[in-house]
Amino acid sequence: MINDDGLEGASSGDWMESLLRSPIFQNLPPIYLQQILINLHNVRYQAGDVIIEQGGVGEHFYLIRSGWCTLTRKASERAKPVKLLELGENETFGEDALLSGNLRSVTITASSEMLLSRIDKKHFIKLIKEPALKYIEYAEVANEQAKGTVVLDIRDASDYEAGHIAGSQNIPFFSLRLHGKELQAQNKKVIVVCNDGALSEAAAFVLLKNRVEVEILSKGMLELSDSDEVSGTQSLAVTKEESAEDLLRKENATLQEELANLKDELAMLSRQNRMLIKQTDKLKSVLDRRM
């Protein structure tokens, strides 16, 4: 990594325009945008450099000025890394750990020479998170559902099955990026739910990037546990003592879900591979005509 502070010379009008059009930034007040630009610092990476490592502490939020990088994740320490997706120019990453307080959940590696702009956690929270995110109380959820708002529970499948808001959908957080375009196509407002509200903030950023109108259930499922209003169709499903057979059944369901997610990832990679083959064939055709 090479520090390259200062925006002059390295930035372009096109990059700045793309930044201001981003769903994360376009609704921020001008004073916040000005402070963001002042506090951005440029860093350069070479192909193969690890920008973020799974299990590390989150310290910065990144904006890609040029180049592209690859996101991978290990299901366990000894497991092989699974490629999730690639990010390129004008895209952002790094907010998950800053918002949730958890360790980095993926490894991000430069796949080419890269120029990034980054902002530290303190300024990210003050200038981007606080003005960008919106919250909702549990008492308002039923009315929103009646209007067609989608309640999206991003907890693991086992937690969701143990108890959830009636009528909610379950997409675990680590699968959410694969469903961003799908949720955008629904053109509906989304309320995000997790255990305590923290991971929902990271999920809200994923949805905002896909131009989905989103609010966060304040305090998450903890608010339901403490509420006297939990009753009727909006109540938590009753949690019963689980037998060994129940636990095995849930574990199997979780494994099936992970398998389905891997199949989705494989299909996405196959599409990308076909596109690369077509582009290569076109390039060969052009070169043949010139020879």
Domain with 22 in it: what CATH number? 2.60.120.10
Residue for token pair 């299901």:
75
30, part of any domain: yes
Q: What tens digit of pLDDT does each residue of 120-151 get?
A: 999 999 999 999 899 999 999 999 999 999 99
- The whole-number pLDDT of residue 212 equals 93
List the domain range (segments joined by +) for residue 208.
133-241
263: pLDDT strictly greater than 80: no
- The whole-number pLDDT of residue 175 equals 86
Could you tell me which residue, 265 or 243, shows the higher pLDDT?
A: 265
User: The CATH number of the domain where 213 resides is what?
Assistant: 3.40.250.10
What lies within 8 Å, CB to CB, of 92 at 6+ separation is: 22, 24, 61, 62, 63, 64, 209
Give the domain-ending residue among 112, 131, 150. 131
Give the domain-ending residue among 96, 131, 166. 131
Answer for the pair 85, 120: CB distance below 8 angstroms, yes or no: no
- Tell me what the mean pLDDT of segment 50-63 comes to: 95
- Tell me what the mean pLDDT of segment 181-189 comes to: 91
107, part of any domain: yes
191, part of any domain: yes
Could you tell me which residue, 276 or 93, shows the higher pLDDT?
A: 93
For residue 95, the SS3 value is: helix
Residue type, 64: I
Residue 235: C-alpha distances to residues 136, 165, 229 (Å): 17, 6, 8
Q: Tell me the two tokens of residue 112.
A: 């080419």
- Tell me what the mean pLDDT of segment 239-264 comes to: 61
152, part of any domain: yes
- The whole-number pLDDT of residue 2 equals 63
Question: DSSP state, 197?
Answer: S
Could you tell me which residue, 79 or 252, shows the higher pLDDT?
A: 79
What is the count of structural domains for the chain?
A: 2
- Tell me what the mean pLDDT of segment 220-239 comes to: 53
- The whole-number pLDDT of residue 238 equals 32
288, part of any domain: no
